[in-house]
Amino acid sequence: MSAEEPAKGGAEGPQKTPEPSGVDLARVALRAAKEQARARGDAAQQKKQARRGGLRSGARADGRDPLPLGSAINRLITERGWETPAAVGGVMGRWPQIVGDDLARHCVPQKYDEDERVLTVQCDSTAWATQLRLMAPQLVARLNEDLGHGTVRLIKVLGPGGPPRRFGPLRAPGSTGPGDTYG
């Protein structure tokens, strides 16, 4: 049995693709000519626009068309690489839904350090700060589930702060308080 003969059982050997005929060759040549003409036309159009002083407005959409606000903001966030800070900012806005209303009334997110991946939260009492420290591992897991794995590595819990130190016109430079003036 030779290689050109079909095998018994109905299976045929490897089939060759037929050579393009005259009509197929003409179609291929026409398609190539159209593409070349389109490229020449585009180049001529760009030269004409450059002579006129730039792009002109037209009926077709181009990159200068107005965008809806949401699309423009999403494009800006993506171009600048602000996905993580924007997502964390969204979490700060949805803080009561994430941690619950009771905890959100007493603990407020302050800032997010993108390099360290640390979320800083301030509580209004030491009892709530202790409660948040105990809940921190579950909260980190919940935040990472919402934002993407590894976005928040640690939650830094701050207790209540004292009143801000006031420096007024009657204070001596370097004074530590009212007791330092009496000796």
Give the model confidence (pLDDT) of 45-83 as tens digits. 777 766 666 555 667 777 777 878 888 888 877 787 777
Buried b (16+ CB within 10 A) or exposed e, 115-147: eebebebbbeeeebbebbeebbeebbeebeeeb
Q: Is the pTM of this model over 0.85?
A: no
DSSP-derived pairing of the beta strands 154-158 and 118-123: parallel
- Which among 173, 170, 140 has a CA at the least distance from the CA of 155? 140
- What is residue 180's predicted lDDT score, i.e. its pLDDT? 46
Q: Partners of 167 in the beta sheet?
A: none
Least confident among 4-8, 34-38, 51-55: 4-8
Structure tokens, 42: 């585009």
Position 134 confidence tier, pLDDT thresholds 50, 70, 90: very high
Distance CA 12, CA 18 (A): 16
Token pair of 36 as six digits: 């070349």
Beta partners for residue 115, in sequence order: none
